[in-house]
Amino acid sequence: MPSDSSYWIVSVPVQEEKSAQQMYQDVSQRLVKDGAADSSDLAPLPFPSFKTGTLESLLSLSEDLPKTESLFESVVNRIVDALRSLFNDDAQAMNEHLMIEDESVEEYLMHWRWNATKYRADRPLPDLIETLSKEMQTIDNVMKQKLNNYNLTKGQLQQLERKKHGNLSMCSLADIVQKDDVVDQKSDFLTTLLVVVPKNLRKNWLDSYERLTAMVVPRSSNELAKDEEYFLFNVTLFKKVEQQFIQKAREHKFQVRDFVYDQKQLQREREELDEAGASEKQLWTELVRLSRANFADAYQALIHYRVLRTFIESVLRFGLPPNYSAVVICPNARKVKQLLKSLVSEYAYLDEYLGKEETKSKNDSGPSQETPGEYTNLLEQEVYPFVLTEQPMIVV
């Protein structure tokens, strides 16, 4: 059964002595009368005058349609995911940016017309599909490059923020350690180490640091800072036992931080953080603007492709001349079964177009054992007397 989270595009051949508009009015009245849909839930979707070509060429073209369609869908979904990440799942902000020509997705579909300025319908169908594919590939490449640049900059900013605001095991110590907390770095014999001690090991440190190795200056350790997880201590010892002390500290689950006192380091770190923040903000703004524009272009390309596929499948199902009436429907989740039933009833006279395999009873046991595996899924699909394609709705 078609999904209630997709828009349905239904296509049928125009009957003799009727117009496409009359066909739309008939199905619209039927669905409203049956209570399967409201008049606002559906709209006509007019096909332009395509250069159809031969049935053989369309059959060959149709083989690649699902694969290309998957590419189109993935590009649109990646843009939506990018916006979702940029706005932290803010639904209101998402809806403001998922627009096509100042219309929401649903408004765009309900007022859809072929964009003849952008895609010339008088060109051969393979050329139209190639044009749409190239456009999608270009959009995808630009988005990937811009996203990569933004993510790199955002990662650098997050790393700097962790150094600034993280716990004592990772944050910068430039604004914590003062000059008097370490021995003169020009000393030939002594050095000061900065040690991060888990809160539950504070007493162990105070009781043991003087005996971790020889040549530790007695009572040289002082508490310099603390957070929810750790204490920061300094300790002074002779340089010749520095590596041995670091090893022993590690064995006792004490972490020795790399640190060299520099009066200008704090200012440099502040400047780096400010620059990274400004760069991230600028790239965020550019990416939001690009994502909005690319979503509009990509979604338009996807719908035009979906219409092309519907048209090609209609020709392959119903034949020539290519005179079809199509409608786009926004199904009500509570009325999906009734909607499908009404459509099947309205177009039941088209069953004559279905092949014998397609009209097998639903009670049949399914395809025979001799059926090749690649066709099994096709034969198991439900087949309706009309052509039906689905466009998944965008959930924000």
Report the chain's mean pLDDT, rounded to a whole number: 90
| Average pLDDT rounded to a whole number, residues 204-224 | 96
| Average pLDDT rounded to a whole number, residues 291-319 | 96
Q: What is the pLDDT of residues 232-269, one digit of tens each?
A: 999 999 999 999 999 999 999 999 999 988 878 778 88
CB 22 within 8 A of CB 46: no
| Angstrom distance (rounded) from CA 308 to CA 121 | 10
| Average pLDDT rounded to a whole number, residues 39-63 | 91
Q: What contacts 24+ positions apart, CB below 8 Å, involve 66-69?
A: 68/129, 68/133, 68/305, 69/305, 69/306, 69/309
Q: Which of 134, 136, 79 is CA-nearest to residue 394?
A: 79
Q: What is the pLDDT of residues 143-202, one digit of tens each?
A: 999 999 999 999 999 988 887 888 999 888 888 899 899 998 889 999 999 999 999 999
Q: What is the pLDDT of residues 89-148, one digit of tens each?
A: 999 999 999 999 899 999 999 999 999 999 999 999 999 999 999 999 999 999 999 999
The DSSP letter of residue 51 is B
Q: What is the pLDDT of residues 311-350, one digit of tens each?
A: 999 999 999 889 999 999 999 999 999 999 999 999 999 9
Instruction: Return the percent helix, strand and coil in the chain, to nearest 5.
Output: 55, 15, 30
Buried b / exposed e across 297-312, counting CB within 10 Å, b at 16+? bbbbbbbbbbbbbbbb
| Angstrom distance (rounded) from CA 350 to CA 345 | 10
| Angstrom distance (rounded) from CA 284 to CA 154 | 9
User: At residue 204, does pLDDT exceed 60?
Assistant: yes
Q: What is the pLDDT of residues 356-387, one digit of tens each?
A: 434 443 444 444 344 344 333 434 457 899 99
How confident is the model at residue 359, as a pLDDT?
42
| Average pLDDT rounded to a whole number, residues 202-212 | 96
How confident is the model at residue 381, as a pLDDT?
55
How crowded is the C-beta side of 192, counted as CA atoms within 13 Å? 24
| Angstrom distance (rounded) from CA 394 to CA 95 | 10
Q: Which of 138, 160, 235 is CA-nearest to residue 196?
A: 235
User: At residue 211, does pLDDT exceed 60?
Assistant: yes
How confident is the model at residue 354, as a pLDDT?
65
- Interhelix angle 125-165/55-62, rounded to 10 degrees, is 20
| Structural domains in the chain, sorted by start | 6-152+280-392 (1.20.1460.10), 179-260 (3.30.70.100)
